[in-house]
Chains A and B, each alone.
Chain A
Amino acid sequence: GQQLNQSPQSMFIQEGEDVSMNCTSSSIFNTWLWYKQDPGEGPVLLIALYKAGELTSNGRLTAQFGITRKDSFLNISASIPSDVGIYFCAGQRGLWGTYKYIFGTGTRLKVLA
């Protein structure tokens, strides 16, 4: 199935550092969502974005809906060990009642204490 390109694929960072990741597509999306998934668990919604150019924060997380509507960005400030996990973007597209949420390939984050 269709996937969104997410980068970087994985990253090791020191505790306290800031992290940036992005998600790009050749298609336009109506909504962008960002998730964190721990092993064996379901994805947990972090941030939802609804308008091009929108910038939204949730604690140490900040995400932006790209102006072209084909990309989105997630920043994590002052990382801590519990930030370890896989981060997925998801784009929503389609018609009312038949929306699809397409997921990015994921960014695996490892934090070194």
Chain B
Amino acid sequence: DTEVTQTPKHLVMGMTNKKSLKCEQHMGHRAMYWYKQKAKKPPELMFVYSYEKLSINESVPSRFSPECPNSSLLNLHLHALQPEDSALYLCASSWVDGGELFFGEGSRLTVL
């Protein structure tokens, strides 16, 4: 099973709302990632978790707050977002020593 599951698939929120994106994998991977993808652009790395610890933050604004509650789950908490944050948010996972990177189907976020 090479499945990464993301919920919700679509999310619309106002600039004052608080919402969360969720990601789950059962491949035993101990590295998990959040990427942001704008239309017609490649995915851009936001955060990397390794053994449930944040190992990379690509200078992402604090209105995005990641959380890795256990080895299978990854959350992205959203607060006070801007319309330019509207994008496809992708979760991915891999072994800690690298290799294949598997993506979920993404969460399409629209900020009004």
Contact = CB atoms under 8 A, between A and B. Distances in A.
A40 interface: yes
Contacts of B6: 42
29 contacts: A1-B45, A3-B42, A33-B100, A40-B88, A40-B106, A40-B108, A41-B106, A42-B4, A42-B90, A42-B104, A44-B103, A45-B2, A45-B100, A45-B103, A50-B99, A88-B42, A92-B98, A92-B99, A96-B97, A96-B98, A98-B55, A98-B56, A99-B97, A101-B101, A102-B45, A103-B42, A103-B43, A106-B40, A106-B41
Contacts of B42: 3, 88, 103-106
B100 A99 contact: no
B67 interface: no
Interface of A: 1, 3, 30-31, 33, 35, 40-45, 48, 50, 88, 90, 92, 96-106
B107 to A, nearest CB: 10
The B interface, classified by DSSP as helix, strand, loop or mixed, is strand
Contacts of A98: 48, 50, 55-56
A48 B40 CA distance: 23
Contacts of A44: 103
Nearest to A99: B98
A100 B90 contact: no
B103 A42 contact: yes
A30 B102 contact: no
Nearest to B44: A1
A105 B104 CA distance: 20
Contacts of B56: 98, 100
Given A97-B31, A99-B31, A99-B48, A31 B58 contact: no
Nearest to A50: B99
A42 B44 contact: no
Contacts of B108: 40
Contact of A48 (B90, B100, B104): B100
Given A1-B45, A99-B48, A31 B99 contact: yes
Contacts of A101: 33, 45, 92, 94, 101
